[in-house]
Amino acid sequence: MTATSAPLGGPQLVQERKLVTAIPGPQSQEWLRRKSESVAAGVGITLPVFGVAAGGGVIVDVDGNSLIDLGSGIAVTGVGNSAPRVVEAVQAQAAQFTHTCFMVTPYDSYVEVSEALNEITPGTFPKRSALFNSGAEAVENAIKIARSYTKKSAVVAFDHAYHGRTNLTMGLTAKNMPYKSGFGPFAAEIYRAPLSYPFRDGGLSGAEAAATAISVIEKQVGAENLAAIIIEPIQGEGGFIVPAPGFLPALADWARAHDVVFIADEVQTGFARTGEMFASEHFGIEPDLIVTAKGIAGGLPLSAVTGRQEIMDAPHVSGLGGTYGGNPLACAAALAAIQTYREDNLVHRAREIGAIIVDRFTQIQVADARIGDIRGLGAMIAIEIVKPGTTEPDAALTGAIARYAHERGVVVLTCGTYGNVIRFLPPLAIGDDLLREGLDVVADALAHN
């Protein structure tokens, strides 16, 4: 498909928004037609242009349009698309070997990624890691490990949670449409507790919200049956919900006191995204287990569970694994991506990006009461769209804003239980000017809808 004239990706790609056709253009429309005749209908698309190159803060499509990327392929390409160190590492590894299966004949990069994760995740206690392919697969393994360690079976997840699309993780996920509807029955022994959601819970303090959640857990499950609590430190798909201060520490303390494994799902929040290497650091918590994926490897499929050695080592030998888990190309990419996050100080860059986004919408909000809430940390920022003066969600307006931006060459994503949240997850490799231009388009979208 890629014409030989397609540009190479990476940061050398011209950093501009340039539309040469309508969105989608004629070639994308032709690919959409072929997609509808070859790909299962359940695989949906947010913005129907077919990409041929990406890098820095842009995605170039098959018609030659250059779009501003404010989504990073859902928080994956934090280091940028085709980031130079990642490209070099993957090319070199591909020429060496592409697979042996770590469980058959191992290789060094899997060990090095584990060492790096043990070092950069919160907590100075002895740790171990295990590598998998997707966020959902890592979440499943975190639950297996917690059950094996505690010899208990119940798991508590939270309102608005998103943990994936496999059977166990669908059960953990809160939202019915589009993730669960018609796909049951779901796994047993999953319970749901209320979250701290400052914009919608009447301003409960973190301690109050935690007390409510703990009461539900004690009344409906019982610590003696509970293997793990799993929570996203900032909820991603659920709407970039930042819990009130004290909520997460109170839950973590309760879990520790009751032999319950506290699992932080940092699949979306991890790797510099929130202006710390891991969001748990903002809240002063040291999760027993931390699940990572998305930003870990510059776009290659890799995920991990990292945590306390005694918990991670509980499953019997060969109880964990998988054919592709910790694939050598993905591990090479992860080592290069982690080096990039550290050496390019992308934690700092995430804070700068976040400040630009928050500043922009704070100014707009003064005269536009449809922006009910502006929240997030670092380069993980969202605005919640409501009917003015209320907390009533306005999903229709949210969709219209996203469509307006898409048609003008800006990739923005929506999220939220009520479908009324616009989220910003730009690559940390985006430049200020391009970011500002992308925000201008979203501001125009608000003004014109």
**Gyration radius of the chain over CA positions:** 21
User: Which residues, 6+ apart, have CB-to-CB distance to 45 below 8 Å?
Assistant: 32, 35
Of positions 10, 236, 239, 328, contacts ligand PLP by CB under 6 A: 236
Q: Which two three-digit tokens encode residue 427?
A: 């690559």
Among 57-65, 130-138, 184-192, 399-407, the segment contacting ligand PLP (CB under 6 A): 130-138
Complex with ligand PLP: residue 9 or 164, whichever CB lies closer: 164
Q: Does 135 bind ligand PLP (CB under 6 A)?
A: yes
Contact positions with ligand PLP (CB under 6 A) in 272-301: 293-294
Q: CB of residue 120 vs ligand PLP: minimum separation in angstroms?
A: 18
Among 190-198, 230-238, 241-249, 423-431, the segment contacting ligand PLP (CB under 6 A): 230-238
Among 100-108, 222-230, 262-270, 393-401, the segment contacting ligand PLP (CB under 6 A): 262-270
Question: From the CB of residue 94, how many other CB atoms can be counted at a distance below 10 Å?
Answer: 12
Please give the helix or strand (H or E) that residue 69 lies within, else none: strand 66-69
Instruction: Give the whole-angstrom CA distance, residue 126 versus residue 1.
Output: 48
Q: Does 265 bind ligand PLP (CB under 6 A)?
A: yes
Q: CB of residue 172 vs ligand PLP: minimum separation in angstroms?
A: 9
Q: Does 134 bind ligand PLP (CB under 6 A)?
A: yes
C-alpha atoms less than 13 angstroms from C-alpha of 79 in its C-beta half-sphere: 27
Longest dimension (CA), the chain: 64
Residue type, 93: Q
Please give the helix or strand (H or E) that residue 145 lies within, else none: helix 135-150
Residue type, 350: A
Q: Is 388 exposed, middle or buried (0-12, 13-18, 19+ CB in 10 A)?
A: exposed
Q: CB of residue 74 vs ligand PLP: minimum separation in angstroms?
A: 6
**Beta strands 154-158 and 127-132, pairing class:** unpaired
Of positions 204, 209, 267, 446, contacts ligand PLP by CB under 6 A: 267
Q: Is 199 exposed, middle or buried (0-12, 13-18, 19+ CB in 10 A)?
A: middle
Task: Map residues 306-345 to x or -, x wherever contact with ligand PLP holds by CB under 6 A.
Answer: ----------------------------------------
Q: Which residue is nearest to ligand PLP (CB)?
A: 135
Among 5-13, 124-132, 147-155, 261-269, the segment contacting ligand PLP (CB under 6 A): 261-269
Q: Which residues bind ligand PLP (CB under 6 A)?
A: 134-136, 139, 162-164, 232, 236-237, 265, 267-268, 293-294
